[in-house]
Structure 1
């Protein structure tokens, strides 16, 4: 598994990279088909937020599935442990779901620790020059762009994600894997761009988007 560690507004020390390389064996033990893991370490400069100053985001790509977890703490090592706990829980759910439903995926078998690949340092992308680049720039699958708006602290981030049409149930499952309160997808029943989102408790909502012209044609 390729492991990429980057820093956002902070320098990543070699000790942290070494710890990441060792602890990512937890991921390959549960998901041997994991191809790539991206770990982003960021720092919050506000002294009032010292207890959550270090933030670790982990994204794992296993086939067509993306599993994500993040956590904040006073130091990067605690944040890494918390994020890994969340990530491994979601990976186990993914593995169990594949076994239970037999939905055409290859069953994942727990084969024990797998030697991790060397950690790769990936430089942080340079910001673009204008906000228009964040909207109109050409991006490849998985690529992202960040633009700071003028002299304000506002940063616009745009990323291209390729996804096959899926059902609402599948979208809810994907939302749980990445740990977000919402998930953007194409509804295979209607072929419309749609969003599922968490409301409260076990209640969820769905938004679908269409143009007035398309709606008029269907009447």
Structure 2
């Protein structure tokens, strides 16, 4: 397994490198044949962001989908621990999904899965209470650290507005798998090609633990079909198969 660590606006000390390397065993145990782990540490030079001046981004490249976590703190060790704990949780989630796909089609009963949970507070909506515990990064904040260069890095011309294009492979997958992959990388949206329709689509997180998906349909653009809406159940096919 390859481990790559680099810093932006700061040097990586041997002590921090050793500290991060000691954590790799747990990642390799939870991951599915981990090939590489990338760690990026970015220091924000603005004095107004002293409490979150250090950002650690961890990315695991393995046989399955990419798993990613990011966190910020005033100290790079604290930021690493926060990102590392998020990463382990997402790796466990991916491992549980693999167990179901490999033949264990009997989901855990809701009563059993929620037996140790505290009752939800009735003083405020559940999604507000959840966000108070852990605020997920927005789509812009969760972008890779190298997505933004110096303000002086302007394209040809004198426009102050930058548009940075990144091209990725259009992976074909089901809507359920797209939701899983979005949660594993910690983003608020995820682009994919719907294997059921062959159409480019984007799934995104909504409030109250629900999701939305937008699909581009050439037939609608041509006028041969009308735009439509539908409500789908997550993993409905697996639930029927296990019944």
Match of 2:222? 216
Equivalenced residue count is 178
CA contact (8 A) 2:32 2:64 kept: no
- What is the CA distance between 1:84 and its match in structure 2? 0.5
- Aligned residue for 2:206, secondary structure, equals strand
Normalised TM-score (structure 1): 0.72
Match status 1:3 vs 2:3: yes
Match of 2:114? none
Match of 2:36? 36
Match of 1:192? 199
Runs of at least 4 residues off by over 3 Å: 144-147, 150-160
CA contact (8 A) 1:192 1:208 kept: yes
More strand by share: 1
Distance 2:77 2:37 in 1: 17
Q: Give the gaps of 5 or more residues in structure 1.
A: 104-143
Distance of aligned partners of 1:145 and 1:55 in 2 relative to their CA distance in 1, 3 Å threshold:
closer
Higher RCO structure (Cα 8 Å, ≥6 apart): 1
Match status 1:17 vs 2:17: yes
Match of 2:154? 149
Q: Give the gaps of 5 or more residues in structure 2.
A: 104-145, 226-243
Q: Which has the larger radius of gyration?
A: 2
CA contact (8 A) 1:44 1:54 kept: yes
Distance 2:21 2:102 in 1: 32
